[in-house]
């Protein structure tokens, strides 16, 4: 099989091409791929025939194929992508004011089985390869033209930290100066909370923001909502977050999905205040998005207002984050490859 060119770090491609061609040919190819977003060597008009032939014979330029597109009332677009082995994933492109945010998938399915999440019902089929992750970002970048894709959130299908090596390799590619030069400040990896992998991010020298899907600061409740908590309880997660914060110049974001009759009581605010009190963080409160066949409901506006009023006792910055794309099942917890 040919090496997929989108799996190579720029310096790796540079070494390969410089064996046969002047250095400026490598720079031309990178400009076509990551600036002009042209993915077919035959369309790279300033390359001579020998370079085009070399590229075609030595590399695959395959990207995930857009299979189905659904557009929501709020202009959010969900793309079902077919991979080379016919597995499917979803990515979501979210335009809002001057931002264009891509919700990136990292796995086909997910093994973590969070009780409120549609992806978790699928189970894990496999990890995405580096070129399949980079491919989503390039497809979205091309869709956004002539505007630029501004933000990346690894909050699509899968637990990114269960595929961390490939996620970090993808970030190295897109953050590189010869590539998209994507800003670490505009990149967020979301996790259910895997302490060893959080430490790995902190030690990796790949700069990225970190979001933790918390959803309860009470172990017994979080055990039910998120089975990972039975393996790595809140105290263990917190130790890893201190480790991350001591090494990375970004505060942590906590994602807290509001589920009535589950985690929106006074005791939940009290536990949350105690848990986050000594952490450099902000908290995004997200109304639960209905998922078919799951026993939870979305909160009413009154329930949201009452909960946020109680949450004013928190010393950290808090935000109500309205999910977008809910009417096409493109919002948080709704991705299931449909």
Contact 167, 197 (CB under 8 A): no
Q: Which of 276, 154, 306, 277 is nearest to 215 (CA)?
A: 276
Contact 213, 259 (CB under 8 A): no
Bridging pattern class, strands 99-103 and 88-96: antiparallel
Radius of gyration of the chain (CA): 21
Contact 127, 166 (CB under 8 A): yes
Contact 150, 45 (CB under 8 A): no
Q: Which residues are marked as active site? A: 90, 332
Query: What is the Cα–Cα distance from 96 to 324, expressed in whole angstroms?
Result: 10
Phi/psi class of residue 193: alpha, beta or left (left: φ > 0; alpha: ψ in -120 to 50)?
left
Beta bridge partners of 126: 108
Orientation angle between helical segments 49-58 and 23-34, nearest 10 degrees: 70
Q: Name the CA dihedral angle for 119, 244, 209, 227, rounded to a multiple of 10 degrees.
A: 10
* Those residues with Cβ within 8 angstroms of residue 108's Cβ, 6 or more apart along the chain or in another chain: 83, 87, 88, 89, 124, 125, 126, 127, 128, 157, 158, 337
């Amino acid at each position: 099989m040919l090496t997929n060119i989108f799996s190579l770090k720029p310096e790796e491609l540079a070494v390969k091409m410089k064996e046969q061609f002047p250095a400026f040919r490598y720079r031309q190819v990178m400009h076509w791929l990551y600036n002009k977003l042209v993915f077919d060597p035959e369309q790279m008009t300033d390359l001579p025939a020998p370079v085009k032939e070399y590229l075609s014979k030595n590399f695959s330029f395959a990207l995930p194929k857009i299979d189905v597109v659904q557009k929501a009332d709020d202009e959010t677009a969900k793309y079902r992508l077919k991979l080379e082995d016919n597995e499917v994933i979803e990515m979501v492109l979210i335009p809002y004011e001057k931002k264009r945010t891509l919700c990136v998938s990292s796995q086909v399915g997910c093994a973590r089985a969070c009780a409120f999440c549609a992806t978790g019902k699928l189970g894990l089929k496999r990890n995405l390869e580096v070129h399949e992750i980079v491919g989503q970002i390039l497809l979205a970048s091309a869709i956004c033209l002539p505007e630029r894709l501004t933000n990346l959130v690894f909050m699509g299908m899968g637990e990114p930290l269960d595929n961390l090596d490939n996620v970090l390799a993808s970030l190295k590619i897109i953050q590189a100066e010869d590539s998209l030069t994507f800003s670490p400040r505009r990149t967020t990896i979301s996790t259910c909370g895997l302490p060893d992998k959080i430490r790995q991010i902190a030690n990796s020298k790949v700069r990225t923001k970190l979001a933790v899907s918390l959803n309860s600061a009470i172990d017994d409740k979080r055990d039910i909502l998120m089975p990972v908590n039975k393996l790595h309880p809140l105290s263990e997660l917190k130790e890893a977050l201190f480790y991350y914060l001591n090494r990375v110049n970004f505060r942590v974001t906590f994602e807290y999905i509001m589920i009535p009759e589950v985690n929106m009581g006074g005791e939940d605010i009290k536990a949350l205040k105690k848990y986050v009190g000594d952490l450099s963080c902000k908290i995004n409160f997200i109304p639960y998005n209905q998922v078919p066949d799951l026993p939870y409901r979305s909160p009413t506006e009154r329930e949201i207002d009452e909960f946020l009023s109680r949450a004013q006792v928190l010393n950290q910055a808090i935000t109500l984050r309205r999910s977008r794309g809910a009417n096409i099942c493109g919002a948080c917890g709704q991705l299931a490859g449909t």
